[in-house]
Amino acid sequence: MADEQGRHPSRRAFLTSAAALGAGAGLAGAARANGPDPLITEVQDWARGFGEGVDATPYGLPIRFEHDVIRRNVEWLTADTISSINFTPIHALDGTITPQGCAFERHHSGAIELAKPDYRLMVNGLVDKPLVFTYADLERFPRENHVYFCECAANSGMEWAGAQLNGAQFTHGMIHNMEYTGVPLRALLQEAGLGPAGDLSDKWVFVEGADASSNGRSIPMEKALDDVLVAFKANGEALRKEHGYPVRLVVPGWEGNMWVKWLRRIEVMDGPVESREETSKYTDVLADGTARKWTWVMDAKSVITSPSPQSPITHGPGPLVITGLAWSGHGAIRRVDVSTDGGISWQTARLSREGESKALSRFYLDIDWDGSEMLLQSRAMDDTGYVQPTKDQLREVRGLNSVYHNNGIQTWHVKTSGEAENVEVS
């Protein structure tokens, strides 16, 4: 942080100088507020000798000043860390790609270590010839690269009954967005032979992992033949152990639970298995006690990552960058609106680039903050025309029994001090 680097004046001094310039001093004023002396003339410590050689860091980790930008778990959420969850520090990241080292993990029976030589993937069931692929076999199929978000269906699930966890990392951090390299599942199914094409519409695949939980899920054949990837690289390098090394399934736009890690088996079947993960879990209990099932697609959603409880405003009035993430499992983000008054009025934010299908979009709203309190909200719209609902609108349809698929609008109460808190407005 600034203090550890010893370069910036204290926050107090900074606020004083910003205040001296007065509100609305503009960008030049804000830049000058960084120190009393506009010019840096002295030779600084780090220029008096040599830095480290290229052999010091064969594989780099973030510099120590960034030690705070890490995955975190919430201890009371689960009984142990084996069947548990940690959260991406989205409040501290920018752009859209999530580095693997801080991308959330969700395990039902812990992260296993599975070496490439031991890896096998079986395709069986209603195929012409059941096959077992080694890792080397998978590498010989034509490959594709795609960026997709992976969101756990339970993301924001703790917020159904009202504002609870104080930070975007905890309310919205069960998401990551990576560039995957892999082979379309379609290619492996075709290799095994799917029989006459006409019969496929009522077929399903059951996908299973090699870990003790197996995390089995049924996927309709239409999706399996569409954009599902059998992936072995993320952001250019091998998958990390915790994300399913050496091979995981990527099921674009659909709930994270279906993205089976340590993928070991794909069975073509006549119908769904109705496994634990798609009946007692990952279904949505409605107000009348019945459960919605097959709610695979992650609806459009967004969150302001900064300012937010873990990323307060650290300067006075004047230029302020409001930023966040938006995504939709149905397609691309078309527009994001931001409100500073709890949803009474809205301004259209700037997308950092055109929305990409089933991938995170980064938005910015650059404002001249007058230093007063704000109730910050963001509202995403995707290319189907769907608009992210308020939490009240969601509860009207879904009741209060749900955990999964909470894509309601989030509110941060930003105080005059710049600190922010998780609140709900209705």
Binding site for Mo ion (CB under 5 A): 106, 152, 256-257
Among candidate residues 184, 214, 189, the one with its CA nearest the CA of residue 269: 189
In the bound complex, what is the minimum distance in angstroms from residue 114's beta carbon to ligand MTE?
10
**Per rule CB under 6 A, is residue 284 in the interface with ligand MTE?**
no
Beta bridge partners of 336: 380
Given 159, 211, 284, 337, the residue binding ligand MTE (CB under 6 A): 211
Query: Tokens 């919605």, residue?
Result: 292
Ramachandran assignment for 16, one of left (phi > 0), alpha (psi -120 to 50 degrees), beta (any other): alpha
Separation of alpha carbons 255 and 253, rounded Å: 7
Q: In terms of CB distance, is 100 or 314 closer to ligand MTE?
A: 100
The sign of the torsion formed by the CA atoms of 232, 233, 238, 240 equals negative
Q: In terms of CB distance, is 171 or 215 closer to ligand MTE?
A: 215
Separation of alpha carbons 338 and 343, rounded Å: 8
Task: Work out what residue 170 binds among Mo ion, ligand MTE, none; the CB cut-off runs from 5 to 8 Å by kind.
Answer: none
What is the residue type of 354?
E
Residue nearest to ligand MTE (CB): 209
Task: Work out what residue 260 binds among ligand MTE, Mo ion, none; the CB cut-off runs from 5 to 8 Å by kind.
Answer: ligand MTE
**Per rule CB under 6 A, is residue 259 in the interface with ligand MTE?**
yes
Q: In terms of CB distance, is 171 or 377 closer to ligand MTE?
A: 171
Given 87, 148, 170, 262, the residue binding ligand MTE (CB under 6 A): 262
Separation of alpha carbons 57 and 34, rounded Å: 32
Q: What's the maximum distance between 2 C-alpha atoms anywhere in the chain?
A: 77
Q: In terms of CB distance, is 106 or 334 closer to ligand MTE?
A: 106
Task: Work out what residue 358 binds among ligand MTE, Mo ion, none; the CB cut-off runs from 5 to 8 Å by kind.
Answer: none
Given 92, 260, 326, 360, the residue binding ligand MTE (CB under 6 A): 260
Task: Work out what residue 424 binds among Mo ion, ligand MTE, none; the CB cut-off runs from 5 to 8 Å by kind.
Answer: none
Given 90, 93, 152, 251, the residue binding ligand MTE (CB under 6 A): 152
Which token pair is 238? 């091998």
Q: In terms of CB distance, is 219 or 420 closer to ligand MTE?
A: 219
**Per rule CB under 6 A, is residue 243 in the interface with ligand MTE?**
yes
In the bound complex, what is the minimum distance in angstroms from residue 71's beta carbon to ligand MTE?
10
The answer for residues whose C-beta is within 8 angstroms of residue 50's C-beta and 6 or more apart is none
Q: In terms of CB distance, is 106 or 203 closer to ligand MTE?
A: 106
> Of the listed pieces 5-13, 54-62, 205-213, 401-409, which binds ligand MTE according to CB under 6 A?
205-213
- Give Cα separations from 92 to 41, 89, 193, 266, 347 (angstroms): 32, 6, 47, 38, 24
**Per rule CB under 6 A, is residue 356 in the interface with ligand MTE?**
no
Q: In terms of CB distance, is 189 or 219 closer to Mo ion?
A: 219
Query: Tokens 């780090």, residue?
Result: 46
What would the DSSP string read from start to end of 151-180?
Answer: E-TTTTGGGTTS---SSHHHHH-SEEEEEE
Separation of alpha carbons 342 and 338, rounded Å: 9
Residues contributing to the site for ligand MTE (CB under 6 A): 104-108, 150, 152, 176, 209, 211, 213, 215, 242-243, 256-257, 259-262
